[in-house]
Amino acid sequence: MKTQIQSFGRFLSGMVMPNIGAFIAWGLITALFIPSGWLPNEQLAKMVGPFLTYVLPLLIAYMGGKMVAGDRGAVIGAITTVGVICGTTYTMFMGAMIAGPLAGYIIKKFDQAVDGHIKPGFEMLVNNFSIGIIGMILAIIGFYGIGPIMGIILSFLTAGVQLLINMGIFPLIGLFVEPAKVLFLNNAINHGIFTPLGAEQVATAGKSIFYMIETNPGPGTGVLLAYWLFSKDKATKQSAPGALIIHLLGGIHEISFPYILMNPALLLATMSGSVSALFYYSIMDLGLSGPPAPGSLIAYIAMAPKGTTLLAIFGIFIAAAVSFVIASIIIKMSNKKDTTLEDAQDQMKNMKAASKGQAAPQTTVIDMSTIKHIIFACDAGMGSSAMGAAVIKKKLKKAGLTDITVDHASVSDVPPDAQVVVCHQDLADRAKQSAPQARLITIDNFMAAPQYDELINELRDARQ
């Protein structure tokens, strides 16, 4: 179930994450040039509306259609979404996330149906007019159907969110978000749900608290700080400071997940920190003008509306302080070295296999002397995987193995020529499905995984 949820979440976030740069551009334009912005400019502020109404939804629909049916799916997804946008007064991010993939699916089925039945010489005619005619029909359906229906749904969602805020229970959403994050659903939650909802809120209020839920680095900061100061395990204590810098300033939250999973009771710390910060943000009526991607202290400073920068940052410190106090108690009471549930399960599988005289159910057998291409994979292929790939590159260079290339990618889109795939153990099932031909190496600590050195030693020994 976790793998299926991750895959669905990956599909949702896959429509938004490639366009995060556009969201940030729109957020910066909003923060700078609207009448209440840092540099009010009536002329430049005219870009805010078209960005929000047309550019961002069309980019989302384009990516959604492309993920389903390539370039043809991308084009017809954008055509369909024009009808959806014009069919309602609401900003159609959610509508675009439906219309884009749906249109891509329809054109994909059409192409499959006519494959092999087109007379030679008429291929271009059929290809162009099929997108034109089907796109027109879908745009009309979007105008009269998808747009108005999504408008009704969004009106209910907006009213529901406002009701939760008025009742003072909206901050409790942190109780669900923090556990979901460590299951690597962070990108799905943030970019698949909160970013579109946040954009809807910015359209009416100029800021959104949705951008401050999953992205707050405070809860993880408190845990890493507590490990640094109070951990009884030397290796963990030494790796925590580096992880803390990457987490807080780099915004790569995945680096804190293994530390939390080492002692799942630490979820109490992160959940408490998140809820505390959200209560503060709700009481102070704070929000960000655009998505802080990645969720770092620097991104919060960039996206805070004029006059609220220090207040927004203070929410990070509230989350970190609450998380630190609770995490410190838990870490002090814990054993010298905690293990994750996944470690225990892997150990159990190995012991069970050994008792039956079988090899441990581990990896594909590959001649390591032939390795030329290593892929470090994470959920989105942008954050922790880029950092992990850089670590491995550095170790390969130090070992003199400079002919081996190291790239990073999404765990769902590992290149077919990958010979070795490195990923977090929670993503192992998806990595096996994406790259069954590759040797799979799983880690539980991005900064100080012993598997890095084991891989380098194995490669070097194989060459010798």
pLDDT (0 to 100) of residue 6: 63
Structure tokens at 244: 């803390």
Q: What is the pLDDT of residue 309?
A: 92
- Of 145-149, 322-326, 330-334, 338-342, give the lowest mean pLDDT range: 338-342
Task: For 352-390, give the secondary structure using H, E and C.
Answer: HHHHCCCCCCCCCCCCHHHCCEEEEEECCCCCHHHHHHH
pLDDT-derived band at 294 (thresholds 50, 70, 90) equals: confident
**Confidence check: pLDDT of 357 > 50:** no
Q: Identify the band that residue 360 occupies on the pLDDT scale cut at 50, 70 and 90.
A: very low
d(CA 346, CA 340): 10
Instruction: With CA atoms as reference, report the closest residue to 167 among 297, 282, 292.
Output: 282
> According to the model, what pLDDT value does residue 167 have?
78
Range in 245-259, 329-343, 424-438 with the lowest mean pLDDT: 329-343
pLDDT at 347 over 50: no
Mean pLDDT, the chain, integer: 84
Q: Which residue segments constitute the domains of the chain, with CATH numbers given?
A: 356-463 (3.40.50.2300)
Q: State yes or no: pLDDT of 88 exceeds 50.
A: yes
Looking at per-residue pLDDT, the higher value among 326 and 409 belongs to: 326
Q: Supply the pLDDT for residue 374.
A: 92
Residue with tokens 């979440």: 9
Residue 130: predicted pLDDT: 93
Question: Going by C-beta distance under 8 Å and a sequence separation of 6 or more, which residues neighbour residue 27?
Answer: 202, 288, 289, 290, 291, 303
Q: Which of 47-61, 156-170, 227-241, 418-432 has the lowest mean pLDDT?
A: 156-170
- Contact of 93 with 145, CB cutoff 8 Å: no
Q: What's the confidence (pLDDT) of residue 271? A: 94
What's the average model confidence in pLDDT over 436-458? 84
- Catalytic one of 84, 269, 320, 378: 378
**Does residue 374 contact residue 404 with C-beta atoms inside 8 Å?**
yes
CA nearest neighbour of 221 among 201, 202, 244, 205: 244
**Paired sense of beta strands 420-424 and 439-443, if any:** parallel
| Among 68-77, 229-238, 352-361, 427-436, the least confident range | 352-361
Q: Catalytic annotation on 423?
A: no
Joined together, the tokens standing for residue 95 give 């509508």
Reported as a single tens digit per residue, the pLDDT across 277-292 is 999 999 999 999 888 8
Confidence (pLDDT) at 340: 44
Mean per-residue pLDDT, 339-360: 41
Confidence (pLDDT) at 62: 95
Whether the predicted pLDDT of 344 surpasses 70? no
Q: In Å, how far from its chain's centre is CA 23?
A: 15
The Cα 425–Cα 339 span in angstroms is 13
Mean pLDDT, residues 351-367 taken together: 47
445 pLDDT band (50/70/90 cuts)? confident
Least confident of 86-90, 95-99, 100-104, 442-446: 442-446
Q: What is the pLDDT of residue 364?
A: 57
* Calpha distance 437→216 (Å, rounded): 38
Which tens digit of pLDDT belongs to each residue from 109-152? 999 998 878 887 788 888 899 999 999 999 999 999 999 998 88
Residue 2's pLDDT is what?
A: 59
**Contacts (Cβ under 8 Å, ≥6 apart) of 33:** 39, 40, 41, 44, 45, 47, 48
> What is d(CA 408, CA 334) in angstroms, rounded to the nearest whole number?
35
Higher pLDDT: 365 or 166? It is: 166
Q: In this structure, are residues 300 and 292 in contact, taking their beta carbons and an 8 Å threshold?
A: yes
